[in-house]
Structure 1
Amino acid sequence: MIQLRLSSAVLARMRFAYSPLAETAKSLYIVNSGNVHPLHRGWYERVRSDLPRVDGELLRAVVPPGGHIAEFLFVGATDTATTIEQQLQLVADWPLEHFVNELAQAWRAVGMSPAARRLVDRGADAPRMVADALEQYWHVAIAPYWPQLRAVLDADVAYRTRRLARGGIAELMLDLHPSIKMTEHAIRVASLTEGDVDGGGLTLVPCVFVWPHLWVELGLAGQPSLTYGARGIGDLWQDSVGADEEDPLAALLGRSRAEILVSLRLPRSTTDLARSLHLSAPTVSSHLAILRRSGLVTCWRHGRRVLYQRTSAAATIVAASGYGDEVAEPGPA
């Protein structure tokens, strides 16, 4: 059992963060284990042919199939603007003693592989080698899909924030993960390990590839984090249906606005939409303004980005047009 004690200032210090490195590590675990859940199969089929371009042997030494995942692969998620470059630099600078200990922990069940031993023998160069290999894998397997992944994370944070505002931390934690239990003064997580730390600086990290598991990181500096499965994964790898002249949604709204509305099952920015639909940003912005005035799209500011998502009314129209989407709960107004 891991217990995160809640101080009176927990709400002031608790925050959400994104971790590109956690997505990288957990997706790599899926690849190395060979056990790809159907919800992630669409992603795996997209990246499988490109995986030989990365240093698979070195990466298996760090993320062994079925083994423990080193804590330095969950480091540095501080807010929703965290970048992979920031996190990889922390990996490269990771203290060698901790690096070796965590690598040994990852292989404790079966004994360290020859590749892992060779990595340890590189001494102070090892963390930098790992950071370089992870960066290579990131560009092949995660970066091309980061806008879609981030849309899922944005939607999850919007949902969790509403729950927090409506019912406090107890409601926020209610459906975060089955292993989490709330008491009056602590968050308790069922775990094979034990820990008891101040949870006042808790960071909540939604993650696509960690699903259906929960990762608790107590942190070398005593700043704990919970990396949990984000909502909306089931929609993530669905291929969008192109609107054409026979498409009733395109006939109703026009081809471009129909494509935008179909794409907004998860929140996205103007830039994200322009990139994925091969339209100019001003064109997308103009269409979004019309959809918003028609009550089909809502928007809100998230940091420096403005996110758009279709409303419940729009989701009903999309589903009725044969796209098979469920009615989605809209984001903040």
Structure 2
Amino acid sequence: MADLLFSVRDLAHTRFAVSPMWEVGPGFRLLRARTAHPVHRTWLDRTRPRVLAAGLDRGWLAELIPPSGYVPDFLNPTPSGPAPALAAELDGIAAAPPGRVRDDLDRLRREQGGLGPRARALYARPEARLSRVVEEIETFWEVAYAPYWARIRAVLDADVSHRARQVAEHGAARLLNDLHASVRWDDDTLRLLRRHRALSRTTTGPGMLLIPSVFTGPLPLTRVTPPDPPQLAYPARGIGSLWEPRQRTRTDALAGVLGRSRTLLLTELDSPASTTELATRTGLSAAGVSQNLTALRDAGLVSAHRAGRWVLYARTPAGESLLAAACP
């Protein structure tokens, strides 16, 4: 168990953030595990073949994110605001001081018993090779996250809203006690059960950064890198329904506006798919699917995400809202 003292100043500097990079590490680890998962099995089955085809299981991330244990802290820069874009966090990674990168890799070497060839090359010249790590993260994001981010983000935002309401109605103690079964607030101290490394205010910045995550679990993850505030990534509420298909019926009214083919494609995009996949599922020609997807994309109802040799289409929040309004 690790204890972290909280002063009034620390509570005043405690805040929430939604962080794309806090999803990348745990999600990549799940994909490499090649096992079923009670919650994320649907996402894993759809995403893993594309990750393997892109060779991402043999790249920089495969050496920097081991199957278990420590992940280098420079991969999780402190979010500057409540919801930084992936590009902002990648800028933080690219700008990581060489000394910080080497310190993190030294710890990774100690805990894993060595470093792979890419990690050794990064250790030798961080300033020259961090850009290649960033490029691979961008590729992984497009393959595994970009088509699903609107859905994931909705769960994360809902969690933050719930926690903010807890603070307003019951105070910060209720919030901290309700984050996770392994987190306890008691006598001006935050206690993290099953954490083996000590925590001390002399080695952290003030406050705490609370980060909901759909892929973190079953225990919260922490990042403690002075002088930044400690980060605590915890499992968000509502994860169990994340990948459930949206049940849509009564699309006739919407078909009268969009046309039957476009309405059919919009409803089929419960999960992101390529033109070929949509043609197979709907019975429409590939050319017809492509033409209708272009129209839906131009209207802001569908987004396109290039993932290597694939282009995956996904419903946008506007597309979700339109279906919800037409098919209550």
TM bin, normalised by shorter chain, reads: 0.7 to 0.9
| More displaced stretch, 38-47 vs 1-10 | 1-10
The corresponding residue for 1:311 is none
The corresponding residue for 2:197 is 193
The reply on whether 1:220 has 2:222 as its aligned counterpart is: no
% identical equivalent positions: 30
Output aligned runs, 1:198-213, within 5 Å: 200-213=206-219
Q: Is the 8 A contact 2:6 2:189 kept in 1?
A: yes
Q: Aligned to 2:8, what secondary structure does the other structure show?
A: coil
Q: Which amino acid aligns with 1:41?
A: R
The whole-number CA distance in structure 2 between the counterparts of 1:34 and 1:27 is 12
Q: Is the 8 A contact 2:150 2:317 kept in 1?
A: no
Q: Which amino acid aligns with 2:232?
A: L
Q: What runs of 5+ residues in structure 2 fail to find an aligned partner?
A: 253-262, 271-299, 303-313
The whole-number CA distance in structure 2 between the counterparts of 1:113 and 1:280 is 44
The corresponding residue for 1:160 is 163
Q: Aligned to 1:38, what secondary structure does the other structure show?
A: coil
Q: Deviations over 1:119-149 (max 9, x none)?
A: 3344421222211211111111111111011
Q: Deviations over 1:270-328 (max 9, x none)?
A: xxx954657967x849949xx9xxxxxxxxxxxxxxxxxxxxxxxxxx8xxxxxxxxxx
Q: Which amino acid aligns with 1:88?
A: L
The reply on whether 1:29 has 2:29 as its aligned counterpart is: yes
The reply on whether 1:112 has 2:115 as its aligned counterpart is: yes
The whole-number CA distance in structure 2 between the counterparts of 1:91 and 1:278 is 28
Match of 2:248 among 226, 242, 247: 242
Q: Aligned to 1:149, what secondary structure does the other structure show?
A: helix
1:11 Cα shift?
Answer: 4.2
Output aligned runs, 1:1-333, within 5 Å: 1-51=1-51, 52-55=53-56, 56-107=58-109, 108-190=111-193, 191-197=195-201, 200-244=206-250, 274-275=301-302, 284=322, 287=325
| Residues 208/286 of structure 1: CA separation in 2 closer, same or farther (3 Å cut) | closer
Q: What runs of 5+ residues in structure 1 fail to find an aligned partner?
A: 247-255, 264-272, 292-317, 319-333
| More displaced stretch, 141-150 vs 197-206 | 197-206
Q: Deviations over 1:214-253 (max 9, x none)?
A: 112223324122111101111011122331479xxxxxxx
Q: Which amino acid aligns with 1:194?
A: A
1:39 Cα shift?
Answer: 0.7
1:14 Cα shift?
Answer: 1.7
The whole-number CA distance in structure 2 between the counterparts of 1:124 and 1:165 is 45
| Residues 279/42 of structure 1: CA separation in 2 closer, same or farther (3 Å cut) | closer
Structure 2-normalised TM-score?
A: 0.72
Q: Deviations over 1:150-203 (max 9, x none)?
A: 000011111111211122111102221122121221212131101211675211
Structure 1-normalised TM-score?
A: 0.71
The whole-number CA distance in structure 1 between the counterparts of 2:215 and 2:325 is 33
The whole-number CA distance in structure 1 between the counterparts of 2:31 and 2:317 is 34
| Residues 121/32 of structure 1: CA separation in 2 closer, same or farther (3 Å cut) | farther
The whole-number CA distance in structure 2 between the counterparts of 1:193 and 1:11 is 22
Q: Aligned to 2:83, what secondary structure does the other structure show?
A: coil
The whole-number CA distance in structure 1 between the counterparts of 2:142 and 2:318 is 25
Q: Aligned to 2:112, what secondary structure does the other structure show?
A: coil
The two structures, once aligned, show a CA RMSD in angstroms of: 3.2
1:36 Cα shift?
Answer: 4.5
The corresponding residue for 1:250 is none
1:5 Cα shift?
Answer: 2.1
Q: Aligned to 1:221, what secondary structure does the other structure show?
A: coil
| Residues 280/35 of structure 1: CA separation in 2 closer, same or farther (3 Å cut) | closer
Q: Which amino acid aligns with 1:176?
A: L
The corresponding residue for 1:308 is none
| Residues 286/90 of structure 1: CA separation in 2 closer, same or farther (3 Å cut) | closer
Q: Is the 8 A contact 1:4 1:199 kept in 2?
A: no
Q: Aligned to 1:134, what secondary structure does the other structure show?
A: helix
- Structure 1: 4+ residue segments shifted above 4 A: 273-281
Q: Aligned to 1:4, what secondary structure does the other structure show?
A: strand
1:78 Cα shift?
Answer: 3.3
